[in-house]
Amino acid sequence: MAPQSSKPLAPAAGGPTSDDSTPIGPPSGLSRIPAQYNSEQGIRQSMKHIGCDEAREDGYRLKGIQLIDSVRQSLQLPVRTFDTAAIYYHKFRLRFPSNEYNYEDVALAALFVACKAEDTIKKSKDILCAAHNIRQPHDHKTPDDKCFEAPSRFTVGLERHILETIGFDFRVQYPQKLLIKMVRRMFPRESPESQDEGKKFLHVAYNMSLDLYKTLAPIKQTAFTLVLAILELTALLMSTDPGRTQEFQTAASWHTERACVVETILDLLDLYTQFPKSTKIGVRFDLKKLMDVKIEMNNLVAREKHSRYHGWCDRCAPDLLDTRSVTPGSATSPATNPSAPGSSSVKRKRTASEGTQRFVFDAAEARKEKDLVSRYFNDEYEEHEVEVEEPVREPEPRHPSRSNHAPSGHGHNHADHGWPGYHRSNRHGPPNDRHRGRRGHGY
């Protein structure tokens, strides 16, 4: 018996050819293109959609990032893991309100996912144990303690929601590495005085880069924008020679815009003037100094005719946020209450569309797939105009007793074929009817 050929058979002449590039039939599930950055207006619309209180959200944001930083330092994780965890934390809390999840649970779960994304693997029990020892230093525990069984399952359940929130998009900017390179460019190793000044400048700028993640600027701006804002604000606070930062004033040369840099500086100044004790830099400088720099930046915005938030649309501006009272579930949270019964299932935010969700990273492929799917779900109709001849109905013969004759004296005796008799009243009579006004006459 001859061996079978491994080559596919050629199609018949004139027959259809198979194209492997185009799938047959619509793809299953829902497609979504993840977005790495968001605008201030989009962030406010998301907060309004979930119905959160802006004043409470500021406190939860600061506490969550502070917890991530403390646990990161306790576990001796690199700073890039902190950056990634902070981004995941911000994106998650823009989609889910605080009354569904406790901010501490989300912060620890974001750090757990960030450890996997940055290849600094830590078990969920290690992260929970470090957080417990930070909150309760007198009650020191080990990761093998049984009290972390239920919170560990809860953290793993939150991991799935965080991955869905970020759309499996693990792109995160790390401004610290770029910041060190730019500071070295500002302070070359010419003299020991220049090196000492550069070390002091870098110490303040590096801590400012960590405080930056307590704002929402990292999910709005690129790495170059963040670094330029940090350099300019640090130079203003430390009264550095303006000639050293003159090279970084041209934003177009660093792949960004001046309005975005000014917006990031004002975000940092809002943080330092409103919550100075929750930051590393806010307590190092006098509040009057911070207010003077903020006034100077506001005058710069007015002078250069920039908007406070880049890309802001007044017509699309959302209404004021709903100030409903939102209470987080910290008392019943498994991560904060070890005695509470744990559950591996977490709440799921229902969406209008059900089904498997797919994440597409190529916009061109997503549009091609959408056009392909629309052919199977769009209802198309064609209208045709057809002329139809309808037969004319024959008149019915009248009954002899109902025949209506013409009045005598006119010489006509024609029957009304098919038309019923009618009574001619005074109103509908002809204008030359001489019997119109006589009683008892007429037709």
As averages over each run of 10 residues, the pLDDT of the chain (443 residues) reads 46 49 55 74 82 80 93 93 93 85 91 92 91 90 88 90 84 90 87 85 94 92 92 91 81 83 93 92 91 92 84 66 39 40 41 54 79 77 84 76 51 50 52 51 47
Looking at the structure, tell me whether residues 265 and 156 fall in a common domain: no
Question: Residue 33 has what pLDDT?
Answer: 65
Q: Does 392 fall in a domain?
A: no
Look at the pTM and tell me if it is higher than 0.75: no
Q: Does 134 fall in a domain?
A: yes
Looking at residue 255, its amino acid is H
CA distance linking residue 3 with residue 47, whole number of Å:
67
CA distance linking residue 17 with residue 11, whole number of Å:
6
Domain end (from 132, 148, 172): 172
CB atoms within 10 A of CB 313: 10
Domain that holds residue 78: 40-172
Q: Does 149 fall in a domain?
A: yes
CA proximity to 268, closest of 233, 221, 303, 299: 233
Looking at residue 136, its amino acid is Q
Question: Residue 25 has what pLDDT?
Answer: 53
C-alpha angle 72/78/82, rounded to 5°? 55
Cα-flanking dihedrals φ and ψ of residue 180, to 5°?
-65, -40
CA proximity to 158, closest of 121, 128, 130: 128
Looking at the structure, tell me whether residues 143 and 247 fall in a common domain: no
DSSP 205-237: HHHHHHHGGGSSGGGTS-HHHHHHHHHHHHHHH
CA distance linking residue 52 with residue 327, whole number of Å:
10
Looking at the structure, tell me whether residues 130 and 204 fall in a common domain: no
CA distance linking residue 53 with residue 207, whole number of Å:
29
Q: Does 266 fall in a domain?
A: yes
Alpha helices in 275-386 (DSSP H): 287-303, 363-377
Bridge partners for 358 per DSSP = 31
Domain end (from 116, 138, 172): 172
Please, which residues have CB within 8 angstroms of residue 388's CB and are 6 or more apart in sequence? none
Is 68 in contact with 110 (CB distance < 8 Å)? yes
Number of domains comprising the chain? 2
In this structure, what CATH number is given to the domain that contains residue 97?
Answer: 1.10.472.10
Q: Does 374 fall in a domain?
A: no
CA torsion, ordered 10, 13, 19, 23, to nearest 10 deg: -110
In terms of DSSP bridges, do strands 357-359 and 30-32 run parallel, antiparallel, or are they unpaired? parallel
